Amino acid sequence: MAEDAEVVKNKQVLLKDYVTGFPKESDFIISTENTISLKVPETSSGVLLKNLYLSCDPYMCLLMQNPDSNSIKESLASYTPGSPITGFGVAKVVDSRNPKFKEGDLVWGPTGWEEYSLIDQLDSLFKIEHTDVPLSYYTGLLGMPGMTAYSGFYEVCNPKKGEKVFVSAAAGAVGQIVGQFAKLTGCYVVGSAGSGEKVDLLKNKFGFDDAFNYKEELDLDAALKRHFPDGIDIYFENVGGKTLDAVLLNMKRYGRIAVCGLISQYNLDKPDGVHNLSSVLFKRIRMEGFAVFDYYHLYQKFLDIVLPYIREKKITYVEDITEGLESGPAALVGLFSGRNVGKQAIEVAHE
Amino acid sequence: MAEDAEVVKNKQVLLKDYVTGFPKESDFIISTENTISLKVPETSSGVLLKNLYLSCDPYMCLLMQNPDSNSIKESLASYTPGSPITGFGVAKVVDSRNPKFKEGDLVWGPTGWEEYSLIDQLDSLFKIEHTDVPLSYYTGLLGMPGMTAYSGFYEVCNPKKGEKVFVSAAAGAVGQIVGQFAKLTGCYVVGSAGSGEKVDLLKNKFGFDDAFNYKEELDLDAALKRHFPDGIDIYFENVGGKTLDAVLLNMKRYGRIAVCGLISQYNLDKPDGVHNLSSVLFKRIRMEGFAVFDYYHLYQKFLDIVLPYIREKKITYVEDITEGLESGPAALVGLFSGRNVGKQAIEVAHE
């Protein structure tokens, strides 16, 4: 019976109103007015989660925009102003009316930006079976960003040993993994990032063959020609716009471009024009947009590959974790100015 | 011995100088000063061809441009000013020093814009085995454009019954075949073309489900929404620029774009910007440039499929054939203003 269920305060991060351009901290409200029962209602077959870590991801910016403002984003379900925003997180099951999960289970998947979340849609909620690695990794290396890197690099790009790989936003949640996968595959990999500190990480921590700060390059085409005198086989696209245009000029024949994100474009009313698409024709390039959800069936295979790499220290991961739900808006907003170094997440509660 | 070889006059179409933008008739010279021996020299292992039909194809425009002017086109070998231009043609072997071909054979493949050509590179010269169809078809339906339609539609786009297909330049050498393949596959197909006469052909001769004159549409996005209220699964891209931008807004999730040509861009110093590439990400689109040469190993399979279709009148083909090498420059130039109706070829000589 739900009558005797404990009811607790439930702090939340609400979206104040639809956002134009990139979000600001003032676009969010920290609300302490909500309460929640720690039992799943009888009308639900879901789970009640205590959120431990929340993930800050660039796509979330798109969900803050008015869905009527851009027909291209039609497939994305925008946030509701006045309600808590949602995203990926790591959580502990407090109560379950679903046979797949039981009290005490650790899980990762879609959840709310609040202390406790009632989750009805469990299709992409994964049980965490391996806890000898940091739990926060399930917001990054072992969660959605890791699967994004894996499916985009291996499944979309079909890399071969010796190929030349370029990764933009390379120090980010996905990019740092792509670079390490590329090295483990025997590729030559160069990354771009937006600060000297990040470039240093790429070269000295993640083992990229080379890296550059795109903010210091007046001519991206020249920068790419310097790093790839014979051209690029694989481009892992996280940013779009001018970078994509310069990359197209430097792709090799039969090159592959996995379109994972276009963060430079997310705040623009009219996206930049890309002028060098004739490269796609003349160089017989395959450019493919993908979404991680289409590859979730490979998650176990992914774990079988990546967990040993972590344990053997063949893959490393840099996180930027802030403390407390109140720090969420600043952490999320910081993504769009590149303030974070490594995977940005928020620790909401201790296990 | 070459001493007693017959030497004949060899009329040629020479490129006067590199062309900027689309070519004009005055960019060519008809030369009657050349002579040629009708025997293959002993130093060659090639064939001496009497050209019967020459093909006018949009890509030829690119070969008239100064190769230094555009690094994207690096993979294309430009024409040499003062020399005859080259292209695809149907020819009769007059003499051969190659065991694959003998005097009297009919062939199609790369040749010169002249009465007789000495061809040393025979890799992509095909022997014509079936002459119960018009010989000129080997410049179109049964030649490079036919194989382009086949490989682009079937191999790149992987069409399924019931899918919605859009073809630009749909009345052209390739487009008219793609539309008929789409119907034979059970797809719904709409084509765009540049005149009422061509739209009429698409609907009433080639069996497209619908067609429109893009020159009469002020808003291409609206035109596509009218014809594809539920979106486009497959776009066979022949034109680029604004059409591609409008199509991207109307693609369905998991859509495929085969980039076959970008004729609207070939004359531009700075190609149009394409603004809607975020569709590639959000709709998980695959956009792929291809070249027919990569699919030549499928030519026999293609013939096995298409020859019966022709004989059973399940596929038809409209050609626009002018008479005489002298008519070549006007015919070629006309491609870029859309003057031709159907596949543009030149009959140089009777068999």
Q: Is the pLDDT of residue B2 over 50?
A: no
With an 8 Å Cβ cutoff, are A277 and B271 in contact?
yes
Q: Which residue of A has its CA nearest to B250?
A: A72
Structure tokens at A265: 């474009």
With an 8 Å Cβ cutoff, are B262 and A277 in contact?
yes
With an 8 Å Cβ cutoff, are B282 and A71 in contact?
no
Q: Which residue of B has its CA nearest to A264?
A: B278
With an 8 Å Cβ cutoff, are A281 and B274 in contact?
no
Q: Is the pLDDT of residue A71 over 70?
A: no
Q: Where are the beta strands (DSSP E) in B41-157?
A: 47-55, 86-96, 106-112, 116-119, 126-127
User: A213-263: per-residue pLDDT in tens?
Assistant: 999 999 999 999 999 999 999 999 999 999 999 999 999 999 999 999 888
Nearest to A282 among B73, B277, B279 (CB): B73
pLDDT, residue A77, reads 82
- All residues of chain B having their beta carbon less than 8 Å from the beta carbon of residue A282 are 72-76, 289
CA distance B2 to B35: 15
pLDDT, residue A2, reads 47
pLDDT bracket for residue B73 (50, 70, 90):
low
Q: Is the pLDDT of residue A120 over 90?
A: yes
pLDDT bracket for residue B259 (50, 70, 90):
very high
Q: Which of B221, B284, B293 to mutate to test the interface with A (most CBs of A within 10 A)?
A: B284
With an 8 Å Cβ cutoff, are B289 and A280 in contact?
yes
Secondary structure letter of residue B156 according to DSSP: I
- All residues of chain B having their beta carbon less than 8 Å from the beta carbon of residue A278 are 72-73, 240, 262, 265, 271
With an 8 Å Cβ cutoff, are A262 and B275 in contact?
no
Q: In angstroms, what CA-CA distances link B163 with A242, A321, B160, B190?
A: 34, 46, 6, 11
pLDDT, residue B270, reads 85
Pick the closest to residue A274 from B280, B252, B156 (CA basis): B280
With an 8 Å Cβ cutoff, are A288 and B285 in contact?
yes
Q: Is the pLDDT of residue A333 over 80?
A: yes
With an 8 Å Cβ cutoff, are B287 and A288 in contact?
yes
Q: Is the pLDDT of residue A73 over 80?
A: no
Structure tokens at B319: 């050609």
Residue type, B264: S
pLDDT, residue A176, reads 97
With an 8 Å Cβ cutoff, are B288 and A285 in contact?
yes
Torsion, CA A206, CA A207, CA A210, CA A211, rounded to 10: 0
pLDDT, residue B131, reads 96
Q: Is the pLDDT of residue B246 over 80?
A: yes
Pick the closest to residue A23 from A52, A59, A54 (CA basis): A59
Taking residues A329-333, what's their average pLDDT? 97
Structure tokens at B307: 């020859």
Nearest to A72 among B249, B260, B288 (CB): B249
Sign of the CA dihedral running A32, A34, A40, A44: negative
With an 8 Å Cβ cutoff, are B274 and A277 in contact?
yes
- All residues of chain B having their beta carbon less than 8 Å from the beta carbon of residue A284 are 288-291, 294
CA-based nearest distance A192→chain B, Å: 20
Taking residues A339-345, what's their average pLDDT? 92
User: B117-148: per-residue pLDDT in tens?
Assistant: 999 999 999 999 999 999 999 999 999 999 99
With an 8 Å Cβ cutoff, are B262 and A278 in contact?
yes
What is chain B's mean pLDDT, rounded? Answer: 94
Residue type, A74: E
With an 8 Å Cβ cutoff, are B275 and A271 in contact?
yes
pLDDT, residue B274, reads 95
Number of neighbours of residue A100 by Cβ within 10 angstroms: 11
Q: Which residue of B has its CA nearest to A291?
A: B284
Alpha helices (H) along chain B: 60-63, 144-150, 175-184, 196-204, 220-227, 242-250, 278-282, 299-311, 328-335
Percent of chain A scored above 90 by pLDDT? 89
Alpha helices (H) along chain A: 60-63, 144-150, 175-184, 196-204, 220-227, 242-250, 278-282, 299-311, 328-334
Residue B130: partners with Cβ closer than 8 Å, 6 or more residues away:
B142, B303, B307
- All residues of chain B having their beta carbon less than 8 Å from the beta carbon of residue A294 are 284
Enter the ipTM: 0.93
User: B192-236: per-residue pLDDT in tens?
Assistant: 999 999 999 999 999 999 999 999 999 999 999 999 999 999 999
Residue B229: partners with Cβ closer than 8 Å, 6 or more residues away:
none
Q: Is the pLDDT of residue B74 over 80?
A: no
Q: Which residue of A has its CA nearest to B242?
A: A273
CA distance A30 to A14: 6
Give the CA angle between residues A164, A168, A170 to the nearest 5°: 95
User: B154-169: per-residue pLDDT in tens?
Assistant: 999 999 999 999 999 9
- All residues of chain B having their beta carbon less than 8 Å from the beta carbon of residue A259 are 277, 280-281
CA-based nearest distance A95→chain B, Å: 35
Under a CB-based contact definition with an 8 Å cutoff, are residues B1 and B11 in contact?
Answer: no
CA distance A253 to A225: 15
Least confident of A300-304, A337-341, B209-213: A337-341
Q: Is the pLDDT of residue A1 over 60?
A: no
What is chain A's mean pLDDT, rounded? Answer: 94
Nearest to B75 among A76, A265, A283 (CB): A283
Taking residues A299-326, what's their average pLDDT? 97
Nearest to B277 among A240, A278, A283 (CB): A240
pLDDT bracket for residue B266 (50, 70, 90):
confident
CA distance B125 to A278: 27
pLDDT, residue B338, reads 87
pLDDT, residue B265, reads 86
pLDDT, residue A12, reads 98
Nearest to A285 among B274, B284, B289 (CB): B289
CA-based nearest distance B265→chain A, Å: 8
End-to-end CA distance of chain B: 26
Domains of chain A: 7-140+317-347 (3.90.180.10), 144-293 (3.40.50.720)
CA-based nearest distance A72→chain B, Å: 6
User: Which stretches of chain A sit within 8 Å of chain B by CB?
Assistant: 71-76, 240, 244, 249, 253, 259-262, 265, 270-291, 294
Nearest to B274 among A76, A259, A273 (CB): A273
Q: Is the pLDDT of residue A341 over 70?
A: yes
Nearest to B72 among A76, A273, A279 (CB): A279
User: B104-113: per-residue pLDDT in tens?
Assistant: 999 999 999 9
pLDDT, residue B1, reads 43
Least confident of A104-108, A178-182, A240-244, B71-75: B71-75
User: Which stretches of chain B sit within 8 Å of chain A by CB?
Assistant: 71-76, 240, 244, 248-249, 253, 259-262, 265, 270-291, 294
Secondary structure letter of residue A154 according to DSSP: I
CA-based nearest distance A303→chain B, Å: 24
With an 8 Å Cβ cutoff, are A274 and B277 in contact?
yes
Under a CB-based contact definition with an 8 Å cutoff, are residues A71 and A330 in contact?
Answer: no
With an 8 Å Cβ cutoff, are A280 and B265 in contact?
no
User: A144-190: per-residue pLDDT in tens?
Assistant: 999 999 999 999 999 999 999 999 999 999 999 999 999 999 999 99
B50 forms beta bridges with B92, B116
Q: Is the pLDDT of residue B301 over 80?
A: yes
pLDDT, residue B229, reads 98
Nearest to A278 among B253, B271, B277 (CB): B271
Q: Which long-range contacts (CB under 8 A, 24 or more apart) does B309-313 make?
A: B309/B184, B310/B133, B310/B137, B310/B141, B310/B142, B311/B132, B311/B133
Nearest to A271 among B75, B265, B278 (CB): B278
Taking residues A289-305, what's their average pLDDT? 97
